[in-house]
Amino acid sequence: MQIRFQHSPKETSEMNTEELRDAFLINNLMHDDVINLTYSHYDRVIIGGAKPVNQKLYLDADAELRADYFLQRREIGIINVGGKGKIIVDDKPYELNKLDCLYIGKGTQKVFFESADASNPAVFYLLSSPAHATYPTTLYTKEQALPATIGSIETSNQRTIYKYIHADGIQSCQLVMGLTILSRGSVWNTMPAHTHTRRMEAYFYFDVDTAQRVLHFMGQPQQTRHIVTANHEAVISPPWSIHSGCGTSNYAFIWGMSGENYTYTDMDAVAIKDLK
């Protein structure tokens, strides 16, 4: 498990490209038959990926957690962005198709990941945060997430939002999670931009063609920076930072948040004309 510490707005504004990527980009999430985890000191979230191909993978507690098992003091949201797979939670199996989401609450002791077909393996994106209360394990299909289409072709941001873990969906302690799929011909997400200093956010980009890239915009609204991202890469977004993206083609991404405020609509909007 990698450890990522916090960085101030001033420190971030002075970073070169390599330093910025080392601090905020996670580019080693998905590898065959491995669970990769990154521990961020922004709200102590853990961002991870599990890609079971030829074997079952066990979500173990890294020594850094000082825990008997991974979810002893944590909750986790998991979204499958690959082929059909299975998650076994304390001996109970849950089958996930692409874009299905499974929430697992604090106190669960055993979590395993499997793929139904090694030639088309499941690709599980994980986001975990500390929890002080226990909520039941819950599976949502993408249809249950009540997709909503917003934006327009005229502004190149027509997209469909799927909300899974939030106040009106899967219940959790402090985790909020969902995904966005951009329509063909649209490339902008989360524009106009916003911040929310009461919680951090993480973006995980998927369904990005190998020849294409997404430019992830971050930083303070009046001093923005960008990180070029590829398929199956994630970006840690500090609470003081905007989080927006523009692709060289359409794409999809998973957004997830953790922090003080659980309300999905808690945003401090930034007008496009005020960005610099």
Q: Please indicate, yes or no, if residue 45 is contained in any of the structural domains.
A: yes
Q: Please indicate, yes or no, if residue 1 is contained in any of the structural domains.
A: no
Q: Please indicate, yes or no, if residue 2 is contained in any of the structural domains.
A: no
pLDDT score, position 55 = 96
CB atoms within 10 A of CB 222: 9
- From the centroid of its chain, how far is CA 248? 21
- From the centroid of its chain, how far is CA 26? 11
Q: Which tens digit of pLDDT belongs to each residue from 143-186?
A: 999 899 999 999 999 999 999 999 999 999 999 999 999 999 99
Q: Please indicate, yes or no, if residue 267 is contained in any of the structural domains.
A: yes
CATH number where 177 lies = 2.60.120.10
Q: What angle do CA 232, 106, 85 make, to 5 degrees?
A: 40
Q: Please indicate, yes or no, if residue 8 is contained in any of the structural domains.
A: no
- From the centroid of its chain, how far is CA 108? 21
Q: Which tens digit of pLDDT belongs to each residue from 12-37?
A: 999 999 999 999 999 989 999 999 99
pLDDT score, position 190 = 92
Digits of tens for pLDDT over the chain (276 positions)? 999 999 999 999 999 999 999 999 999 899 999 999 999 999 999 999 999 999 999 999 999 999 999 999 999 999 999 999 999 999 999 999 999 999 999 999 999 999 999 999 999 999 999 999 999 999 999 999 989 999 999 999 999 999 999 999 999 999 999 999 999 999 999 989 999 999 999 999 999 999 999 999 999 999 999 999 999 999 999 999 999 999 999 999 999 999 888 888 888 999 999 999
DSSP state of 41: S
Q: Please indicate, yes or no, if residue 257 is contained in any of the structural domains.
A: yes
Write out the residue range of the structural domain in which residue 227 sits: 14-274
DSSP state of 183: P
Number of domains in the chain: 1
For residue 101, the cross-strand partners are 79, 140
Residue 112 · residue 81 · CB < 8 Å = no
Q: Please indicate, yes or no, if residue 76 is contained in any of the structural domains.
A: yes
Q: Please indicate, yes or no, if residue 9 is contained in any of the structural domains.
A: no
CA 220, 272, 235, 229 dihedral sign is negative
Q: Which amino acid is at 140?
A: Y
What is this structure's pTM?
0.96
Token duo for residue 225: 């920076």
